[in-house]
Copies of this chain bind each other. A is one copy, B any other.
Amino acid sequence: MLIPLDHRSPLPLYRQIQDFLSGEIRSGALPAHTRLPATRNLAQSLGVNRLTITTAYEGLAADGLVYGRQGSGTYVAPLSEAVTGPTAPVGASQDWPLWQQELLSHTWLPAQYELDRMSAALDRPDAISFAAGMGDSSLFPIDDFRRAVTDILRRDGRAALSYGERAGFAPLRATIARIVTERGIRALPQHILVTSGSQQGLSLVARLLLRPGDVALVESPTYAGAIDLFRSLDVRLAGVPVDAQGMQVDRLEALLTTHHPRLIYTMPTYQNPTGTCLSTARRRQLIDLAGRYNVPILEDEFAGDLHYEDAAPLPLAALDPGGRVIYMGTFSKMLMPGLRLGFLVAVGPVYERLLAAKRVDDLSSSSLIQRALEAYITVGRYQAHLRRACQLYGHRRDTMAEALRRYLPAGADWTTPAGGLFIWLRLPGGLTGQALAPVAAGEGVGFAPGELFFPGGRSQPYVRLNFAEHPPERIEEGVRRLGRAVVRCLSTGSGERQSGDVLHNEMPAI
Q: Which segment, of A142-150, A269-277, A386-394, A396-404, faces chain B? A: A142-150
Whether, in the assembled complex, A510 has its beta carbon less than 8 Å from a beta carbon of chain B, the answer is no
Specify which chain B residues have a CB less than 8 angstroms from the CB of A154 in the assembled complex.
146
B360 touches A232 (CB 8 A): yes
B368 touches A338 (CB 8 A): yes
How many protomers of this protein does the assembly include? 2
Whether, in the assembled complex, A2 has its beta carbon less than 8 Å from a beta carbon of chain B, the answer is no
In Å, the complex CA distance between A187 and B190 comes to 44
| A315 → B minimal CB distance (Å) | 13
A338 touches B360 (CB 8 A): no
Specify which chain B residues have a CB less than 8 angstroms from the CB of A322 in the assembled complex.
88-89, 92, 94-97
A158 touches B186 (CB 8 A): no
Whether, in the assembled complex, A4 has its beta carbon less than 8 Å from a beta carbon of chain B, the answer is no
Specify which chain B residues have a CB less than 8 angstroms from the CB of A364 in the assembled complex.
340
Specify which chain B residues have a CB less than 8 angstroms from the CB of A190 in the assembled complex.
62-63
Interface residues of A in 232-252 (CB under 8 A from B): 232-234
B188 touches A64 (CB 8 A): yes
Specify which chain B residues have a CB less than 8 angstroms from the CB of A323 in the assembled complex.
89, 94, 96-97, 100
| A143 → B minimal CB distance (Å) | 8
Specify which chain B residues have a CB less than 8 angstroms from the CB of A189 in the assembled complex.
61-64
Interface residues, chain A, CB within 8 Å of chain B? Answer: 58-59, 61-64, 67-68, 70-71, 81-82, 85-86, 88-92, 94-101, 103-104, 106, 108-110, 112-113, 116, 137-138, 140, 142, 145-146, 149-151, 153-155, 157-158, 160-166, 170-171, 173-174, 177-178, 181, 186-191, 195-197, 199-200, 203, 207-209, 211-212, 225, 228-229, 232-234, 291, 294-296, 320-324, 336-340, 347-350, 352-353, 356-357, 359-369, 375
The 8 Å CB contact of A142, one of B137, B161, B321, is: B161
In Å, the complex CA distance between A280 and B59 comes to 36
Known: A170-B61, A199-B361, A211-B212. A337 touches B112 (CB 8 A): no
A199 touches B362 (CB 8 A): yes
Known: A70-B375, A89-B323. A360 touches B203 (CB 8 A): yes
Most B CB within 10 A of own CB, among A91, A103, A164: A103
| A78 → B minimal CB distance (Å) | 12
Instruction: Please name the 4 residue pairs, one residue from A and one from B, whose CB atoms are nearest each other, closest first.
Output: A161-B338, A89-B322, A161-B336, A146-B153
A interface: dominant SS: helix
| A218 → B minimal CB distance (Å) | 14
A367 touches B350 (CB 8 A): no
| A369 → B minimal CB distance (Å) | 6
A361 touches B360 (CB 8 A): no
In Å, the complex CA distance between A479 and B195 comes to 38
The 8 Å CB contact of A353, one of B58, B103, B356, is: B103
Specify which chain B residues have a CB less than 8 angstroms from the CB of A157 in the assembled complex.
142
Q: Which residue of B lies closest to A181 (CB)?
A: B82
A361 touches B203 (CB 8 A): yes
Sample of 26 A–B contacts (CB below 8 Å):
A58-B165, A62-B165, A62-B190, A89-B322, A99-B295, A100-B348, A100-B349, A101-B349, A103-B350, A108-B356, A116-B166, A137-B162, A140-B161, A145-B161, A146-B154, A161-B336, A199-B363, A203-B360, A207-B233, A228-B360, A229-B361, A338-B367, A340-B363, A340-B365, A366-B366, A369-B369
Known: A110-B356, A321-B89. A170 touches B232 (CB 8 A): no
In Å, the complex CA distance between A61 and B347 comes to 19
In Å, the complex CA distance between A209 and B98 comes to 13
In Å, the complex CA distance between A92 and B186 comes to 12
In Å, the complex CA distance between A320 and B94 comes to 13
